Structure 1
Amino acid sequence: MWGKVGCSKADCPISSSNQVVSETVHSANLAAQQQKIMTGGCCDLCVEESKVCEGEHSLEETNKQVVHEESGNAEANSSFAHAVINMIGMLIGLGQLSTPYALENGGWASAFLLVGLGIICAYSAHLLGKCLENNPKSRNYIDIGQHAFGAKGRILAATFIYMEIFMALVSYTISLHDNLNTVFSGTRLKLSWAANLSTSQILTVAAVLVALPSLWLRNLSSISFLSFGGIFMSLVIFISVACTAIFGGVKANHTIPVLQIRNIPVISGLYIFSYAGHIVFPNLYKAMKDPSKFTKVSIVSFAAVTALYTSLAFMGAKLFGPGVNSQITLSMPRHLFVTKIALWATVLTPMTKYALEFAPFAIQLEHHLPTKMSSRTKLIIRASVGSFILVIILTLALCVPYFEYVLSLTGSLVSICICLILPCAFYIKICWPQISKPLIFLNLILIAFGSLLGISGTIFSSKLLIQNLKIRPHST
């Protein structure tokens, strides 16, 4: 049914550690370089070589310069194994913390939903590859949207992408706050300038301030290094939970309910967020030496990640039962050394994300600034805007410290569209003449299914979030 995805070899690299939402970076840089040449401006290639720009560089030269900027002179020669590692790295992240909570609240039968969504998202990743095969000029998720529905499709795709970036960063900051509160449990801080803030809120502000300078980074290799740190932290968290089950003295003797149907809309948002990564898959496709293997890469990667999520979900639910926290690290026994490792890994993970998540927006911002503006001025504007957005994110995270509901809302409102609804819609529109009626029907069914999950999940998670804001005091 899936077939093979075919496309000519492309020259858009992706760093092995780009985990999320950097899909506009290469195309933005390339467009900017070409625009400088067309307008007679001085391109970065000439600046580096101390030459006067004559505007006669070939596309190949320009593209090589962009590749050099983004990945340390890397080329689009990603092997099958390399691509699998990349995709797994993109998928593993914040969502893994909530899978035990979701399974406990949805019942063990909800694992079929988790696995089913993994299969569906692997299929929708394949559809993105088919869209790229149909139009090799498309370089990223936004380009696919434009190819499918014109300017409206481009705006729609960009809107959902930036919404997901923003809401994901709010969720990361909430996670940072919750885990700092546990790490420094019993600590009391009182500062004159922060009299109205609790200790955990002060610590969160301090942590965000520590991460703030990362927004000044323009070197994408440095940003990718931070992302690699996030991937490593995710693996540390999983291993820590496994060590708790094996060596921690906690008995996995809790009974998981069969099915709690009333909770399915909310936990579906948590499940779908765990598979959010589609906005960078076009870059991965373009980076492959043999793009025809992209579908196999998707199958292997999603199978591995689904197995990890499912095992972690059952392990956490059996270990901690009804008392399992929305973040598994907060349920682990405080006296264990592996718990401290897991908590610190969860604290450090968000701090590695800010620069990478902000990079696509920052690059677009710089390219819309006047070309005559100095690099230093652009950097100051970029950093100022990034700092302002980060302050908004921090404020929201401290005012709405309900991780599970914000994460569920993000998954239901945004991720379901990016991972399922839009890829199916793009595929139908772009490949309509080439696809059979049964395949069209299948994709329409998936769009309806995704819309049902998205609407119901958004409604229920929004209600729960509003209720908790009204009746529960903010965590401290």
Structure 2
Amino acid sequence: MKNSISEQSFYIESEEEDDEHLEKHENEEEGNESDFSNEDNNDDETNRPNSLTSAWPQSYRQSMDLYSNVPSPSLHFLGTPSLSRLGSSFFGSSLIRRHTPEVLPSLHKPLILPAEEEKAPHRRSSHGLIPPLHPRKSSIKKIPDIERPSKDAHGLPISNQSTYGQAVVNGMNVLCGVGLLSTPYAVKEGGWAGLSILFIFGILSFYTGMLLRYCLDSQPGLETYPDIGQAAFGTMGRIVISIILYVELYASCVEYIILEGDNLSAIFPNAHLSLGGFELDARHLFVVIAALAILPTVWLRDLSVLSYISVGGVIASILVVLCLYWAGLVDHVGFESKGTVLNLPTLPVAIGLYGFCYSGHAVFPNIYTSLADRSQFPAVLLTSFGLVTLLYGGTAVLGYLMFGDSAESQFTLNLPKGLMASKVAVWTTVVNPFTKFALTLSPVAMSLEELLPSKHTKSHVYPILIRTALTISTVVVGLAVPFFGLVMALIGSLLTMLVTLILPCVCFLRILKGKTSHLQVTICVFIITVGTASALIGSYSALSKIIQSMI
């Protein structure tokens, strides 16, 4: 990604001190657009910190590029120089990382730049959603494309620019996950009429994905979801949004663990192990075995290989769906029940399951800023959402027609075990998390590694301990709450509603306050209302059912 700040390229001029005011100077030379006037920044935007690059988490962009398979340089984890530069005491710096000029001087330069009154070098959206923003003063200098910087605004190497096709695949890879397995179960919980929720959430999620783009375009240097949170609500906004995003990723890892236990125990139902007086049944045994097999991938120093392999997640999802179609249309499995039109008592669970299907907003800013032609982002988003929604909808309809009210939380558990299509579907489902788990957990681990005291950041031991502890904790949670569908409904209701519907609208209204139309405000308020109601109703229903199942 050569152009990470705007459609034109800029570099940030050095400043002597963070608190020193820039003196006024002018360059009236006609036809020379390379220099802009620098002036003291007296904006009233009190929530905006001096520099986004100094706030936790620093590793977000790097780790999420891998998670979404955005083209990125080879990344070396576990005590690497890039992470050691970010290390310092968490409480000693009040959530702000300390850096030395010799190691990472670029982090002393402001990422949110001073305003420019007469000329606006920042990005402007190619879409007419918002009116042109007021020009801002900025201590920036436009440079030719050939001299574009090799590092992004966070001081990390700029990733390669993505084409339209790569961006679509990345978007689908993020959106099309394990939620696909539960769509027939979601129809069972909500009825045929409840299936409309999937399409409603798809439309709303597409719109909020566009809102993130306009937030990124609103001022120079915004590149990630936490950046947007900080621009809207200051450092605390960045921290809160980051924690929500990391909890969502951690919860997804718990789902992978539950998924492994359910499917492997379905393949080998009679497996068990007696160890030191403890009896492990098939599900517990395979959860432990799966975790032990996954653990080495979590320790990997370079996850770029897994990142590129994980793009096969789209192929794996399509393959599993094709197996379902084959079992139903060729092997004539199921089709004995017409189903229920509307199931009101369990409809809230369906809300969470459908919401989980569109949990990709944490990565959309990375996909947007990696595009070679950012004007293609609306088409990328529309294509990704359209294809994924068709895949989800088709799977939900066919799966519910085949299994009716006996649909399990994963349709692979309903497929007859003797069929070849069933075996392919189940084993594909089992293998896929082995590439996904480490990539999903790494952003969480890297964010925690940043909080290590600086004297420990070059050690390989502490990162390994952190990643091992995180993996063990997902096993403990997965064994304690082994309800795949209900956990997914809780994630979708509570976390996905926040990340996908509520926060994009809130940040958009905050950042572009006074620059939005009444229609835009009305739409955002409507989406916030829908998201809040869905979160409250769905979370309460999922939690209550989890508690009932555990008693």
Normalised to the residue count of structure 1, the TM-score between the two structures is 0.85
Match of 2:487 in 1: 406
Instruction: Identify which of 172, 180, 200 aligns with 2:256.
Output: 172
User: What does residue 147 of structure 1 align with?
Assistant: 231
1:430-441 equivalences in 2 (<5 Å): 430-441=511-522
- By relative contact order (CA 8 Å, sep 6+), the higher-ranking structure is 1
Residue 272 (1) aligns with residue 355 (2): yes
Q: Does 2:216 match 1:132? A: yes
Distance 1:165 1:374, change over 3 A: closer
Gaps of 5+ in 1: 1-5, 44-57, 69-73, 471-476
Q: Is contact 1:20–1:357 with CA below 8 Å preserved after alignment?
A: no
Map of 1:274-313 to 2, 5 A cutoff?
Answer: 274-313=357-396
The aligned counterpart of 1:113 is 197
2:422 paired residue among 339, 355, 359:
339
Letter in 1 for 2:538: G
Amino acid at match of 1:201: H
Assess if the C-alpha contact under 8 Å between 1:78 and 1:289 holds in 2.
yes
What is the correspondence of 1:217-296 to structure 2 with a 5 Å cutoff?
217-296=300-379
Contact 2:171 / 2:384 at 8 angstroms: preserved in 1? yes
Q: CA deviation at 1:202?
A: 1.3
1:94-123, CA deviations, whole angstroms, 9 ceiling, x for partnerless residues? 100100111122111112111110011011
Could you tell me which residue of structure 2 aligns to residue 458 of structure 1?
539
Code of the aligned partner of 1:145: G
TM-score in terms of structure 2 length: 0.74
Offset, 1:10: 8.0
Displacement of 1:363 in angstroms is 2.6
Whether contact under 8 Å (1:117, 1:271) holds in the other structure is: yes
Residue number in structure 2 paired with 1:51: none
Equivalence for 1:420: 501
Call closer, same or farther: CA 1:315–1:414 in 2, change over 3 Å: same
Once the two structures are TM-superposed, the CA of residue 265 in structure 1 deviates from its matched residue by 1.2
CA displacement, residues 180-238 of structure 1 (integer Å, 9 cap, x when unaligned): 1101123x332324723213211220111011011112323123135234443322211
The separation in 2 between residues aligned to 1:391 and 1:14, in whole angstroms, is: 21
User: Which of 161, 183, 186 is 1:102 aligned to?
Assistant: 186
Structure 1: how far apart are the matches of 2:83 and 2:523?
37
- The 3 A distance-change label for structure 1 pair 159 and 15 is closer
Q: In the alignment, is residue 214 of structure 1 matched against residue 303 of structure 2? A: no
Q: Does 1:352 align with 2:414?
A: no
Question: Please, which of 258, 270, 278 is the counterpart of residue 195 of structure 1?
Answer: 278
Distance change (3 Å), C-alpha of 1:32 and 1:8: farther
Residue deviations 1:383-410 (CA, integer Å, cap 9, x gap): 1111111111101111211111111011
Cα distance in 2 for partners of 1:207, 1:419 equals 30
Given residue 40 of structure 1, which amino acid in structure 2 is its aligned partner? Answer: E
Q: Is the Cα contact below 8 Å between 1:91 and 1:275 reproduced in 2?
A: yes
2:102 corresponds to which residue?
40
Check whether the contact 1:17–1:86 (CA below 8 A) recurs between aligned residues: no
Q: Between Structure 1 and Structure 2, how many residues are aligned? A: 440
Q: What residue identity is the alignment partner of 2:464?
A: A
Q: CA deviation at 1:308?
A: 0.6
Task: Tell me which amino acid in the other structure corresponds to 2:149.
Answer: E
In 2, Cα distance between equivalents of 1:163 and 1:306: 25
Structure 1 residues 61 and 31: alpha-carbon distance in aligned structure 2, compared to 1, 3 A threshold: farther
1:447 paired residue number = 528
Larger radius of gyration: 2
- Output the CA distance in 1 between the equivalents of 2:496 and 2:180: 15
| 1:124–1:424 contact (8 Å) kept in structure 2 | yes
In 1, Cα distance between equivalents of 2:461 and 2:491: 31
1:362 partner letter: A
How many angstroms does 1:159 deviate by? 1.6
Q: Is residue 402 of structure 2 the alignment partner of residue 315 of structure 1?
A: no
SS where residue 432 of structure 1 aligns?
coil
Pair 1:191–1:106, CA change in 2 (3 A): same
Give the secondary structure class of the aligned counterpart of 1:107.
helix
User: Which piece of structure 1 moves more, 6-15 or 123-132?
Assistant: 6-15
TM-aligned CA distance change 1:396 to 1:21, over 3 Å? farther
Conserved 8 A contact 1:22-1:357: no
- Deviation, 1:60, is 3.1
Question: Take 1:420 and 1:457, find their aligned partners in 2: how far apart are those partners?
Answer: 14
Q: Distance in 1 between matches of 2:192 and 2:471?
A: 38
Q: Which amino acid in 2 is paired with 1:265?
A: P
Change (3 A) 1:360 1:190: closer
Q: Which amino acid aligns with 1:60?
A: P
1:358-382 CA-partner distances (Å, limit 9, x unpaired): 222233334444555574x2x2211
Q: CA deviation at 1:16?
A: 8.8
- Note the aligned Cα RMSD (angstroms): 3.1
Give the aligned residue type for 2:411: I
2:187 partner amino acid: L
- Distance in 2, Cα, partners of 1:130 & 1:63: 19
Match of 2:467 in 1: 386
Task: Give the distance between the partners of 1:312 and 1:244, measured in 2 at CA.
Answer: 12
Once residues 502 and 242 of structure 2 are traced to their aligned partners in structure 1, the CA distance between those partners, rounded to angstroms, is 15
Unaligned runs of 5+ in 2: 11-60, 87-96, 106-146
Residue aligning to 2:54: none
Deviation at 1:38, TM superposition (A): 4.1
In the other structure, the counterpart of 1:324 is 407
8 Å contact 2:63–2:446 — kept in the other structure? no
Judge conservation of contact 2:181–2:412 (CA < 8 Å) in 1. Answer: yes
How many Å separate the matches in 1 of 2:350 and 2:312? 28
Structure 2 distance, partners of 1:411, 1:250, is: 30
C-alpha distance after superposition, 1:406-443 (max 9, x if no partner)? 11011111111001000010111111222101210110
Alignment partner, residue 54 of structure 1: none
Rounded Cα–Cα distance in structure 2 between residues aligned with 1:141 and 1:20:
17
Which of 44, 47, 60 is equivalent to 2:149? 60
Residue 434 of structure 1 aligns to a residue in which SS? coil
Q: In structure 2, how many angstroms separate the alpha carbons of the residues matched to 1:8 and 1:30?
A: 27
